[in-house]
C-alpha cells in the first residue's frame, strides 16, 4: 500500500509539473556532452566554464586539482591523487559531478580515494561546466551545485580525415612524468576519437624539504565512436578505462594498491524534429569501479595485515525532450534513473593484539563487512522552463521529484543488532524547485536573482558504513538507516558590469539547510577495532535541524594594455552548525586569486597568485585545527612554433613556500605525525605536437 501511495504521489507531481508549460526561446546545438548551451550568453549568470586551454596551461596532475585556482572552490586532499572539489562549503554527494552531460559514477572506497573526478585525466578534458547553486533540475538532485566534465570528442568541423596530438612533460619536484595521445578520424558519417595517457609521479618535497608520501601511477584511455545521421541527428558510443596503482594516501590509514574504473555510455540526440519538438536526447550508461587498498606500507602491518577489496557499480540513463511551446518559450521535460550498488569488505590477519600484546601463531583471520552489499535507486522526473519576457528578461522555472529506495543484502550481525533489525531505510520522496530571473540591462549591466529548494537523499556511506574511520577525525563511523533527506533553501544574487576592457562581478548567496547530515558521538556505542585506544566511542551519522552556508565571490578582469590582462577574484564562505552553535568543519578560508597575463600571437605567459587567509573558525567536535594563511605564486608560459609544436614551461610555488591547505587531511597511520604539506618549488616543462 505504501508503494502504491508513493507512486500516486509521483503521478500527481508529474501532472502538476505538466501544467507549467512555460519556456525560453533557445535551440540547443547538436551536442551530447554539454549542459550549458544557450542562445543568449550568459542567460544564467551562475553558470561558468573552465576552458581546456586554462587546464592545459596550468597543467594540473589530478582531476580535483583543476579547481584550486577557481573562485568559490576549495580542494579536499587526502593524497596527491583523487582530490575532490568543495564548492561554497558543499562537497561529496552534495555536489552533482557528471561526465559528458549525464554520466554518473561513484567511489568504491569508503574513504573516497577514488571520487568520480579522479576517473578522468585532465589531459582529455575539453572544458568543465559549473553551475553554482541548486539552480538546475535537469541533471539530478543537486544540493549545492553541478560540475560537468566535458571530454574531448571528434571535431567534424575540420577537413582532415585524421588529426591529433601527442604530448609529454616532466616536473622536477617528485621526478614526475606524464604523456598523452589524442587521435581522431572523420570518414563521411562516421567519426572516431582515441585519447590515451600515462603518468608516473613520485613523492614530492615540501617547501621545507620534507618528503611527502604522494606517489602514484595512472594509465587511462577513452574511445568515442560516432555516427552522424545528418546535421540534426547523432549517435555516439563511448568507452573509457582508468587504471591507477601504488597510490599513497598519507592522510588515510591505507594506500591504494589498485584503482580501476570502466565507463560505457550510449548517446542519441536529435534537433528540430518538428515545430513543437525542438530537441530529444537519450543517454544510457554504466560504470564499474574495482578498488583495493591495504596497510602493507604502514607500521601497523606488523601486527595486523589488512586488505580491503571493494567495488561500486552505477547503472543509469536519462531522456529529455525540448518543447518549443511558443516563439519565446522552451520547456525541457524528462526522466532520469540511477542505480548504485556497493559491496566488499576488509580481510584482516591479526598477528598481535595491540591492546594486550598477545601474539597469535597462526594469525587469526577476520572479515569486516564494509558496504554490506548495499543499494541505492533514484528515479527522477523534471521540468525546466525558460521564458523570454521581452528582449532583456529571462525567467527560469524548474521542478523535480525524486523517488529514492534503498536495500541492504548482506548486513553485518552487529549492525543489524544496533538497530534492532530495522535496517531498511524508508523510501524517500523528494521534491525540488528553482526559479530565477536574469536581466540584460543597458550599458553592460546584468543582474541575476534566484531561489531554490533542493533535496538530497542520504548516500550509502551515511546509511550503512559499518564501524570504519571515514571522517577527518580518528573516530569509527556508523551508518544510520533512519536519516532524512537534506533540504537546501538557497538565495543567490549576482551583478555584472561588462565594459569595453573591464568586466566586474559580485555574487552573494545564502543557503539555509534543514536536516543537514553530519555525525555525532554516541557514548552507548564503543569502538570495535583497537578498543583500548582513544577515542573510545563511535560516531553515528545524524541529521541536525539547521545549518547555514553563506558567502560571496567578487572580482574583475581588466585588459589594461594591448595583449595584457589582469584578473582578481575574492571568495569567502561562512559555515555554521546552528544546532550545535559551532562552525561547520572543512570550510575553505577567505581566498584571493590574482593573475597578470600576456598573450601575443603564438606566445602566452602568466603569473598567478593565490593568497589564503588563516582559518580559525574550526569545529571542535571534529577535532579540526586552525590553519595559518599563506601566499603562493606560479608562473606559466607556452609558445607555439612552426604552427604545430607547442612548448610549455612553468614554475610552481616560485618562492618555495612551505604551506598547508586547510582542507588537506593530516598524516594518519604513518611513521611520523605531520601535516600534509603542499609541494615546494617545481620546474615544469612539456611539449605538444599537433598533426
CA–CA dist 596, 635 (Å, integer) = 10
Q: For residue 519, how far is the Cα from the chain centroid? A: 22
Q: What is the CA radius of gyration of the chain?
A: 25
Give residues with Cβ within 8 angstroms of 11, minimum separation 6: none
- 58 phi/psi in degrees, rounded to 5: -75, -25
CA–CA dist 379, 10 (Å, integer) = 10
Residue 487, all three cell numbers: 533540504
What pLDDT, on a 0 to 100 scale, did the predictor assign at position 14? Answer: 38
CA–CA dist 264, 285 (Å, integer) = 6
**Per-block mean pLDDT, blocks of 10 residues, the chain (691 long):** 40 37 37 57 59 83 92 95 96 96 96 95 92 96 94 86 95 97 95 96 97 97 96 96 96 96 97 95 98 96 97 98 96 98 97 93 96 98 96 96 98 96 97 97 95 98 97 96 98 96 97 98 95 93 99 97 97 98 98 97 96 98 96 97 95 98 89 89 97 94
Respond yes or no on whether the N-terminal peptide bond of residue 100 is cis (omega within 30° of 0).
no
Respond yes or no on whether the N-terminal peptide bond of residue 229 is cis (omega within 30° of 0).
no
| E strand map for 370-456 | 374-389, 393-408, 428-440, 445-456
Structural element, H or E, at residue 4: helix 2-18
Asked whether residue 564 is assigned to any structural domain, the reply reads no
What pLDDT, on a 0 to 100 scale, did the predictor assign at position 7? Answer: 41
- 143 phi/psi in degrees, rounded to 5: -80, -45
Asked whether residue 80 is assigned to any structural domain, the reply reads yes
What pLDDT, on a 0 to 100 scale, did the predictor assign at position 32? Answer: 65
Q: Which of 209, 193, 204, 267 is nearest to 235 (CA)?
A: 267
Structural element, H or E, at residue 321: strand 304-326
- 4 phi/psi in degrees, rounded to 5: -65, -40
Asked whether residue 34 is assigned to any structural domain, the reply reads yes
Asked whether residue 657 is assigned to any structural domain, the reply reads no
Asked whether residue 519 is assigned to any structural domain, the reply reads no
* Structural domain for 318, as ranges: 2-514+524-552+634-651+663-690
Q: Is 413 left (phi over 0), alpha (psi -120 to 50) or beta?
A: alpha
CA–CA dist 555, 566 (Å, integer) = 11
**Taking the model in full, what pTM does it have?**
0.92
Structural element, H or E, at residue 514: strand 502-526
CA–CA dist 503, 556 (Å, integer) = 5
Q: How far apart are the first and last CA of the chain?
A: 64
Strand partners, 583: 576
Strand partners, 623: none
CA–CA dist 492, 509 (Å, integer) = 4
CA distances to 94, 245, 630, 685, 687 from 216, in Å = 28, 6, 27, 20, 22
DSSP conformation class of 596: E
Give residues with Cβ within 8 angstroms of 592, minimum separation 6: 568, 569, 570, 609, 610, 611, 612
Asked whether residue 622 is assigned to any structural domain, the reply reads no
Q: Is 391 helix (H, G, I), strand (E, B) or coil?
A: coil
Q: Based on the structure, what is the number of domains in the chain?
A: 1
CA–CA dist 689, 164 (Å, integer) = 8
CA–CA dist 533, 525 (Å, integer) = 14
Asked whether residue 431 is assigned to any structural domain, the reply reads yes
Burial class (CB in 10 A: 0-12, 13-18, 19+), 33: buried
DSSP 161-224: SEEEEEEEEEETTTTEEEEEEEEEEEETTEEEEEEEEEEEE--EEBTTS-EE---EEEEEEEEE
Asked whether residue 584 is assigned to any structural domain, the reply reads no
DSSP conformation class of 62: S
Domain CATH number, residue 448:
2.40.170.20
Amino acid at each position: 500500500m505504501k508503494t502504491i501511495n508513493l507512486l500516486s504521489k509521483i503521478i500527481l507531481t508529474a501532472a502538476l509539473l505538466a501544467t507549467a508549460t512555460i519556456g525560453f526561446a533557445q535551440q540547443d546545438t547538436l551536442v551530447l556532452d554539454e549542459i550549458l548551451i544557450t542562445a543568449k550568453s550568459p542567460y544564467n549568470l551562475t553558470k561558468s566554464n573552465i576552458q581546456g586551454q586554462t587546464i592545459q596551461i596550468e597543467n594540473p596532475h589530478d582531476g580535483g586539482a583543476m579547481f584550486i585556482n577557481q573562485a568559490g572552490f576549495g580542494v579536499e586532499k587526502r593524497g596527491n591523487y583523487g582530490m575532490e572539489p568543495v564548492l561554497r562549503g558543499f562537497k561529496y554527494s552534495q555536489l552533482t559531478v557528471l561526465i559528458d552531460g549525464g554520466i554518473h559514477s561513484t567511489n568504491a572506497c569508503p574513504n573516497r580515494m577514488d571520487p568520480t573526478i579522479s576517473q578522468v585525466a585532465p589531459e582529455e578534458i575539453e572544458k568543465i561546466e559549473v553551475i553554482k547553486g541548486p539552480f538546475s533540475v535537469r541533471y539530478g538532485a543537486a544540493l549545492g551545485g553541478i560540475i560537468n566534465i566535458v571530454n574531448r570528442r571528434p571535431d567534424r568541423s575540420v577537413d582532415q580525415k585524421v588529426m591529433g596530438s601527442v604530448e609529454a612533460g616532466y616536473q622536477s619536484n617528485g621526478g614526475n612524468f606524464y604523456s598523452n595521445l589524442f587521435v581522431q578520424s572523420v570518414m563521411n558519417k562516421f567519426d572516431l576519437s582515441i585519447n590515451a595517457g600515462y603518468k608516473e609521479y613520485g613523492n614530492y618535497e615540501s617547501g621545507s624539504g620534507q618528503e611527502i608520501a604522494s606517489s602514484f601511477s595512472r594509465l587511462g584511455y577513452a574511445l568515442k565512436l560516432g555516427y552522424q545521421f545528418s546535421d540534426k541527428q547523432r549517435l555516439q558510443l563511448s568507452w573509457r578505462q582508468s587504471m591507477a596503482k601504488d597510490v599513497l594516501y598519507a592522510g588515510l590509514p591505507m594506500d591504494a594498491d589498485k584503482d580501476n574504473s570502466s565507463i560505457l555510455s550510449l548517446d542519441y540526440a536529435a534537433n528540430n524534429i518538428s515545430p513543437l519538438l525542438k530537441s530529444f536526447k537519450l543517454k544510457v550508461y554504466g560504470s564499474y569501479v574495482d578498488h583495493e587498498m591495504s596497510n602493507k606500507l604502514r607500521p601497523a602491518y606488523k601486527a595486523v595485515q589488512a586488505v580491503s577489496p571493494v567495488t561500486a557499480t552505477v547503472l543509469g540513463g536519462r531522456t529529455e525532450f525540448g518543447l518549443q511551446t511558443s516563439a519565446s518559450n522552451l520547456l525541457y521535460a524528462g526522466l532520469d534513473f540511477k542505480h548504485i550498488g556497493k559491496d566488499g569488505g576488509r580481510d584482516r590477519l591479526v598477528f598481535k593484539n595491540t591492546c594486550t600484546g598477545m601474539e597469535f601463531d597462526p594469525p587469526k583471520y577476520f572479515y569486516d563487512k564494509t558496504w554490506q552489499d548495499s543499494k541505492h535507486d533514484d528515479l527522477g522526473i523534471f521540468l525546466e522552463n525558460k521564458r523570454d519576457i521581452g528582449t532583456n528578461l529571462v525567467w527560469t522555472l524548474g521542478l523535480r521529484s525524486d523517488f529514492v529506495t534503498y536495500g541492504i543484502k548482506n548486513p553485518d550481525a552487529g549492525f543489524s543488532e544496533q538497530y534492532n533489525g530495522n535496517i531498511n531505510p524508508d523510501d524517500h520522496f523528494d521534491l525540488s524547485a528553482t526559479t530565477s530571473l536574469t536581466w540584460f540591462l543597458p550599458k553592460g549591466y546584468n543582474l541575476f536573482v534566484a531561489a531554490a529548494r533542493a533535496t538530497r537523499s542520504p548516500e550509502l556511506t551515511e546509511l550503512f558504513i559499518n564501524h570504519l574511520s571515514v571522517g577527518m577525525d580518528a573516530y569509527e563511523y556508523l551508518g544510520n538507516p533512519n536519516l532524512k533527506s537534506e533540504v537546501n533553501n538557497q538565495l543567490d544574487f549576482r551583478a555584472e558590469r561588462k565594459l569595453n576592457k573591464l568586466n566586474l562581478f559580485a555574487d552573494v548567496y545564502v543557503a539555509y539547510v534543514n536536516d543537514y547530515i553530519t555525525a555525532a558521538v554516541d557514548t552507548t556505542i564503543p569502538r570495535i577495532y583497537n578498543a583500548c585506544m582513544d577515542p573510545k566511542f563511535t560516531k553515528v551519522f545524524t541529521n541536525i535541524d539547521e545549518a547555514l552556508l553563506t558567502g560571496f565571490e567578487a572580482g574583475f578582469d581588466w585588459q589594461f594594455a594591448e595583449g595584457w590582462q589582469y584578473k582578481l577574484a575574492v571568495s569567502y564562505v561562512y559555515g555554521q552548525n546552528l544546532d550545535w552553535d559551532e562552525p561547520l568543519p572543512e570550510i575553505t578560508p577567505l581566498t584571493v586569486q590574482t593573475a597578470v597575463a600576456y598573450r601575443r600571437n603564438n606566445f602566452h605567459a602568466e603569473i598567478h597568485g593565490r593568497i589564503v587567509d588563516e582559518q580559525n573558525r574550526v569545529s571542535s567536535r571534529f577535532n579540526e585545527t586552525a590553519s595559518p594563511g599563506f601566499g603562493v605564486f606560479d608562473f606559466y608560459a607556452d609558445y607555439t612554433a612552426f604552427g604545430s609544436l607547442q612548448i610549455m614551461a612553468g614554475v610552481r610555488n616560485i618562492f618555495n613556500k612551505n604551506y598547508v591547505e586547510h582542507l588537506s587531511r593530516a598524516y594518519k597511520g604513518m611513521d611520523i605525525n605531520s601535516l600534509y604539506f603542499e609541494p615546494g618549488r617545481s620546474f615544469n616543462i612539456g611539449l605538444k605536437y599537433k598533426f
